[in-house]
Amino acid sequence: MKTFDTIDRMRSFSRTARREGKRIAFVPTMGALHEGHLSLMREGKRHADYLVVSIYVNPTQFGPNEDLAAYPRNLAGDLDQVRSVGGDAVFLPTDAIMYPEGAQTRIDVPDIARHLCGASRPGHFSGVATVVAKLFHIVEPDIALFGEKDFQQLAVIRRMVQDLGLPVEIVGCPIVREADGLAMSSRNRYLSPQERTAATSLSRALDRAGEMIGAGETSAKRILGEVREIIEATGIPRIDYATLVDPETLEEIPTVQKDALLALAAFVGPARLIDNRLFDIAPRARI
């Protein structure tokens, strides 16, 4: 497995592969890798000849009071994990490479970014879109894979790729969960045993919503009322949002009549955790 820490070396690897007629799959990460990341990499290996992974904690997607300094970092362990799934190359840029002195350009996807996490994390998705666009230009992949746990991030990247005409296929991959239902996240390692138990209420709330929708409930108010009760009963002090939205526009919906995304974000101890479930609703016949 090769590692690259300059744009020229990374781009040379990709262009050599392209000249040889090889396809490149790309998984951008911020490190602190877990099975969710590895599942993206394995899927990438199925789609392409070469798997490239980036490890970079992007400062522009963190707010002034967020956990940039404390974000978990374990480069040696991360490289071992990429190697274990057959990664071919890892790009390890620095802040100076990604944001050279005097850099001013940012990418914004305003309509999708203003909902959900964007409402409480202003500028976050501009930071995400900007760094991903830069990585795409450096790595030049044929396909890039992202987890559906960060559903809004995936929607922002898909919109950006479409709007800018970038030659990258975007693939969303299912949420990977721990045995207790907790969605895998690098921030789960912040949790105490008690906080982790409380955090499982997010997936239990999604399960309950699925039961209600499966039984014919369509009222977002009633569904979200039960969702909030389940989460609040565990002592979680703050729910950032619990909402049903259109999965394409991320606009809130009052009733579940077609496909709907139930999106959650809550503060559990020192961590802000997100989770979601997409409900594929067949159109209901009118009587």
pLDDT score for 286: 40
Among 34, 37, 47, 137, which one carries the catalytic annotation? 37
The Cα–Cα gap between 179 and 181 comes to: 6
Q: What is the pLDDT of residue 41?
A: 98
Helix axis angle, 7-19 relative to 124-139, nearest 10°? 50
Q: What is the 3-state secondary structure (H, E, C) of the chain?
A: CEEECCHHHHHHHHHHHHHCCCCEEEEEECCCCCHHHHHHHHHHHHHCCEEEEEECCCHHHCCCCCCCCCCCCCHHHHHHHHHHCCCCEEECCCHHHHCCCCCCCCCCCHHHHCCCHHHHCCCHHHHHHHHHHHHHHHHCCCEEEEEHHHHHHHHHHHHHHHHHCCCCEEEEECCCECCCCCECCHHHHHCCHHHHHHHCHHHHHHHHHHHHHHCCCCEHHHHHHHHHHHHHCCCCCEEEEEEEECCCCCCECCECCCCEEEEEEEEECCEEEEEEEEECCCCCCCC
Task: Please state, in angstroms and as integers, the Cα–Cα distance from residue 149 to each residue in 8, 40, 51, 116, 278, following that order.
Answer: 32, 12, 21, 13, 10
Q: Is 37 a catalytic residue?
A: yes
pTM over 0.85: yes
Look at residue 271 in the predicted model and tell me its pLDDT. 93
Stretches where the chain sits below pLDDT 70 are 282-287
pLDDT of the residue at 282: 60
pLDDT of residue 115: 97
